[in-house]
Structure 1
């Protein structure tokens, strides 16, 4: 059985990793990872405020991993 807190930590470090750990499937992992890479890429090159969106997305990914593993 997967640990919800560990899933949240993994997903905060790398969005999608907690979802993969929790058994939510590779597709959800890839989608979360692509969204995070887009946010980080745009934030690093064009707009610095995008980093805030990336942080919010990381927090959401961690929350999603925790909730879905805890169920």
Structure 2
């Protein structure tokens, strides 16, 4: 039984919804925890001003990580 590779689109959407979830889906648990903590810190630390940037960066990194696994 072979393990299927993560879908880059699914990884990106998951990380956009909850930063870090796409990285966890990719199998990169520590990266997922990192993005979850950093994004929450940026959201609260800037009163929401730059939180969307973390969402986009988390989505992009989840997408590229899954894409590079293919």
Query: What is the 5 A alignment of 1:1-71?
Result: 1-24=5-28, 26-44=29-47, 51-71=48-68
Give the TM-score normalised by the residue count of structure 1. Answer: 0.80
Aligned residues: 64
> Where does the alignment leave 5 or more consecutive residues of structure 1 unmatched?
45-50
> Where does the alignment leave 5 or more consecutive residues of structure 2 unmatched?
none
Shift of 1:40: 2.0
